Amino acid sequence: SRKIIVAGAQLGPINVDTPRSEGISRMLKLMDDAHRQHAKLIVYPEIAPVTFFPRHILEGEELEQYFEQEVDGDATKLPNLKPLFDRAREYKMDMYLGYAEHAAESSEAEHVHYNTAVYYSGAADKVISKYRKVHLPGTFEPYERKDATNQLEKRYFRPGNLGFEAFRAPGLIPDAVSKKSGAKANEPDNLGKGDAIIGMLICNDRRWPEAWRPYGLQGAELVLCGYNTTAWAPELLGTNKKISTQDKAKQEALFHNKLCITYNSYANACFSINVAKCGLEDSKYPLIGGSCIVDCDGEVVVEAQTEDDELIVAEIDLGMCRRGKEKVFAFERHRRTEHYGRIVEQ
């Protein structure tokens, strides 16, 4: 059996004046709930503990306050986020945690910022993998219209430089024994053992098949994705005639979210856990909810019902991925890579 209980910790609005510590307390409460329900893995949203600040025009300290900086190259020692790592260690729970990263590796005078997620193994007390968001939406310059909602991710972050590296989460599957913990993610003997093969995405990445496929090709059984998706931003997204009200725009945004995560889970024969920060931030900026756990047949297993803090939990069987990986798609037998060159042409 490759059964495991997993959780998505959807967060409701976090306003500009919400202290980070309050966001973290809410996240800890959701983790306590996940522990009570025997979850082995919890997934938080993109840039989880603070407001979605890229909508604001910021510089200097006002901007820097939103970023987290590692100590001694160890993400478990991110000063503000330490309580989350400590609690996950106590529960031996794995965790996907999204945050704005002030990268320490740079020797440049200029700050190097990324939109980042780490995967922490509670049992191993170790950050197993880091991912930096590749597809940064929005603009570098703010919109001219003063009442437009900006998405200044191209201004505040560099595109991720770590690629789409799947990894093995050691011993995540309780009833399967890992014979080769630490082997490469795509080693064929992995399926049926205690490690799970996992990939990470962040928000806008989930709209790009190119971001999922490298994980599918590495045998990923589970893709994790946190998001902050605006429900209404005509400058950013444009509108069709059928989008005549803010409510219709939100319905469409929810539909596109589900379309991306269900299809790409199916097409890559993996489960996915997709988790929103949502609701009205600062009584003004609407973000969609719709957090979902999706199975490898593209079906929604569980979906959040609110736009507030809400835990979604499901027992999933990663063994189900074999059908897609070995029969329906079986990439090594059926892909025709000689025709795919255009995908990577400039």
Q: Binding residues for ligand CDT, per CB under 6 A? A: 46, 137, 203-204, 207, 227-230, 236-237
Nearest C-alpha neighbor of 270 from the set 223, 213, 340: 223
Sheet order of strands, 167-169 included: 167-169, 196-202, 222-227, 271-276, 292-294, 300-303
Active-site entry in 40, 130, 133, 250: 133
Catalytic residue among 40, 70, 203, 307: 203
Q: How far is the CB of 133 from ligand CDT (least distance, A)?
A: 7
Contact of 102 with 113, CB cutoff 8 Å: yes
Nearer to ligand CDT, 194 or 290 (CB): 290
Given the residues 46, 101, 221, 307, select the one marked as catalytic.
46
Instruction: Quote the least distance from Cβ 135 to ligand CDT, whole Å.
Output: 7
**Residue spans of alpha helices (H) in the chain:** 20-36, 60-64, 82-91, 153-156, 209-217, 234-237, 246-267, 321-322, 331-334
- Whether 278 contacts 13, CB under 8 Å: yes
Quick one: 203 or 269, whose CB is closer to ligand CDT?
A: 203
| Cβ 181 to ligand CDT shortest distance, Å | 33
Cβ-based nearer residue to ligand CDT, 45 or 324: 45
203 in active site: yes
Which is nearest to 7 in space by CA: 46, 50, 37?
Answer: 37
Q: How far is the CB of 140 from ligand CDT (least distance, A)?
A: 15
Strand 300-303 relative to strand 167-169, pairing: unpaired
Cβ proximity to ligand CDT, 137 vs 286, nearer residue: 137
**Active site residue ranges:** 46, 133, 203
